[in-house]
A and B are shown apart, each in its own frame.
Chain A
Amino acid sequence: MTHLQRSKTLRWLCTLATAAALVIVLFPVYAVIVGSFESTQTLFSGTYYWLPHGATLDNYRTVIQAQSGHVLTSLIVGVGTAVLALIVAAPAAYALAKYRLRVTVILVSSLLVCQIVPSIVLATSLFIVFHWTHLVNSYPGLIIADGTYAIPFAILVLRAFFFSLPNEVMQAARVDGASEWQTFHRIVVPLARSAVITVAVFAFLSGWGDFIFALTILSGSGIEPITLGIYTYLGNYSTDWGAVMASGVFAMVPAGVMLVAAQRYIASGLTAGSVVG
Chain B
Amino acid sequence: MKILTRSRRGLAALAAATIAVTGLSQVNAFAATKITLTEEDYFNTPGQLSGLASYTKQFEAAHPGVTVKRQYVPFANLDTKLLTQATGHDLPNLLAVDNPFVSTMISTGQVVPMSGMKGFSTKGYYPAVINEGLSNGKYYSLPVAGANSIALIYNIAMLKAAHVNPPKTWAQLVSAAKALTTPKRYGIALTCEAAEDTTWQWEPFFWSNGGKGTFANVASAPGVQALSLWKQLVTDGSASKACLNWSQTPAASSQFIAGKAAMMVNGPWNFPTLNLNHMYYGKQFGIVPVPVRVPGQHVVVPLGGEDWMISNSAGSAAQQLAFEYIKGMQTPAQELKLAKAFGYLPGKIAVAKTYLKQVGPEWKVYIDQTLYARPRTLGLGVKYPKISQAVWTAIQAALSGSQSVQAALKTAQSQINTILKS
Contact = CB atoms under 8 A, between A and B. Distances in A.
A and B touch in the complex (CB under 8 A): yes
Interface of A: 44, 46, 127-140, 144, 216, 219-223, 231-232, 234-239
A127 B86 CA distance: 12
A138 B246 contact: no
Contacts of A220: 29, 38, 71, 85, 88, 90, 92
A123 to B, nearest CB: 11
Nearest to A139: B27
A44 B26 contact: no
B247 A237 contact: yes
A119 B25 CA distance: 24
A252 B92 CA distance: 32
A140 B26 contact: yes
A231 B73 CA distance: 10
A231 B77 CA distance: 10
Contacts of B258: 44
A221 B38 contact: yes
A231 B76 CA distance: 11
B26 A221 contact: no
Nearest to B87: A131
Contacts of A131: 87-89
Interface in B258-292: 258, 260
B84 interface: yes
Given A220-B38, A238-B246, 16 more contacts: A131-B87, A132-B15, A133-B12, A133-B16, A135-B24, A136-B88, A137-B88, A140-B26, A219-B81, A220-B90, A220-B92, A221-B38, A232-B72, A235-B77, A235-B247, A238-B250
A238 B89 contact: no
A133 B88 contact: no
Nearest to B28: A138
A129 B19 CA distance: 11
Contacts, number: 96
Nearest to B260: A46
Main secondary structure of the interface of B (DSSP, over half): mixed
21 contacts: A44-B260, A46-B260, A127-B87, A131-B87, A131-B88, A133-B16, A135-B26, A137-B29, A137-B90, A140-B25, A219-B81, A220-B90, A220-B92, A221-B40, A221-B71, A223-B29, A232-B72, A235-B247, A236-B74, A238-B254, A239-B251
A46 B89 CA distance: 44
B413 interface: no
B27 A138 contact: yes
Nearest to B77: A235
Interface string B346-383: 00000000000000000000000000000000000000
A235 B74 contact: yes
B71 to A, nearest CB: 4
B26 A138 contact: yes
Contacts of A223: 29
Interface string B60-92: 000000000101111111000100110111101
Interface string B38-63: 10100010000000000000000000
B85 A219 contact: yes
A238 B38 CA distance: 28
Nearest to B313: A220
A258 B69 CA distance: 37
B260 A137 contact: no
A237 B26 contact: no
Nearest to A140: B24
B255 interface: yes
A139 B25 CA distance: 11
B245 interface: yes
A137 B258 CA distance: 39
A134 B20 CA distance: 13
Contacts of B245: 237
B251 A238 contact: yes
Interface string B240-258: 0000011100110011001
B20 to A, nearest CB: 10
